[in-house]
Homo-oligomer: A and B are copies of this chain.
Amino acid sequence: MAGIDEVARLAGVSTATVSRALSGNGHVSPGTRLKVEAAAAQLGYVVSSNASSLASGRMKNIGVVVPFLNRWFFSSVIEGAQQALLRHGYDLTLYNLSGDGAERHSVFEHFLLRQRVDAVIAISLELTEAEVARLHTLEKPLVGVGGPIPGVRTLTIDDVAVARLATEHLLALGHTRIAHIGGNAEYDVDFHLPTNRREGYEAALRDAGATRDPVLFQSADFTIQGGYHAAKQLLGSPRGRPTAIFAASDEMAIGSILAARDLGLSMPRDVSVIGIDDHDLADFFGLSTIAQFPRVQGEKAVEILMDELHPTVREPAPSNIPLPFELIVRSSTARPAAE
């Protein structure tokens, strides 16, 4: 590995100039810059990030903390963030908390503190006050994605509005008995999202004067399997079967579609189903849904951090940015069959 002084010697300049030319910090004449770049290329020189970081205090690395990896939403956000970071020359260090609590503790008390990241993106994670405080003492910018963290800048769709929109779509089609599959309490510890979505659903029903019945709510764990079992309960009910199901995620909605099928109910004739996400599989299942755009959320999180890390004249981004969402109507929703 060639070092900076070899490049300097080959280019006939000082190491300081090489540093300036390659990093873009400070002024270098165009001619010199070219010479330096040529020398660097010839030697295959790449800065040592450690030396650079130690001297400058910039890590060119950001930490991403997620509760799971194998869920469409999380991996999509990460993909978006990764791509944006690569463009900025940043690395992405991943902390997956899916293990036990000890793991989580060591990530916050140890890993994130060793000066390896310039900033942290927390995805759908309800951080404790202690955790937020720990991060704050480091003076590391922190941005949340998906589910608001109190006191922290967060990128999140308006879950209440999204749920309301989904429910209103069903109401507008003429449904009156609309069931909801939401998250369970356990889930809500980490993300408030289940509660928010349920609120939007309730509000839409209330405004429309539609049936509000505790029997029409089932909780599940955001998986296809969970959605399947919940929908079976809902649709198997001997009387007052709902004509439509609004699931808080596409995966649960897909489970509902499969459950309806197994019960011999046809969709959308006997039951309409709508989800949230626009999951990769939504189109395949003909699932109507409210699309959110997790890749874009990941990219946006990165842009916010870049703005903060490299202060320019631009004004800072606003604190709680509402994200775009969009109703996508496919074949899983229709008017209820005439009685």
Q: Is A228 an interface residue (CB 8 A)?
A: yes
Q: Are B94 and A78 in contact (CB under 8 A)?
A: yes
Interface string of A71-103 (1 = CB under 8 A from B): 010011011001100100101111110110001
Q: In the complex, how many angstroms separate the beta carbon of A204 from the nearest chain B beta carbon?
A: 31
Q: Which residues of B contact A89 (CB under 8 A)?
A: 110
Q: Which residues of B contact A111 (CB under 8 A)?
A: 86, 91
Q: In the complex, how many angstroms separate the beta carbon of A276 from the nearest chain B beta carbon?
A: 17
How many residues does chain A have at the interface if contact means C-beta atoms less than 8 Å apart?
49
Q: Which residues of B contact A338 (CB under 8 A)?
A: none
Q: Which residues of B contact A59 (CB under 8 A)?
A: 50
Q: Are A115 and B49 in contact (CB under 8 A)?
A: yes
Q: Is A309 an interface residue (CB 8 A)?
A: no
**Bound-complex Cα distance A69 to B284 (A):** 20
Give the residue of B44, B47, B115, B284 whose beta carbon is less than 8 angstroms from that of A225.
Answer: B284
Q: Is A114 an interface residue (CB 8 A)?
A: yes
> Can you list 12 A-B contacts with CB-CB less than 8 angstroms, sorted by A residue number?
A46-B114, A48-B115, A49-B114, A50-B50, A61-B116, A69-B82, A79-B96, A82-B94, A82-B95, A83-B96, A86-B107, A93-B94
Q: Give the 5 A-B CB pairs with smallest separation, nearest first.
A: A70-B75, A46-B113, A69-B75, A50-B54, A49-B114
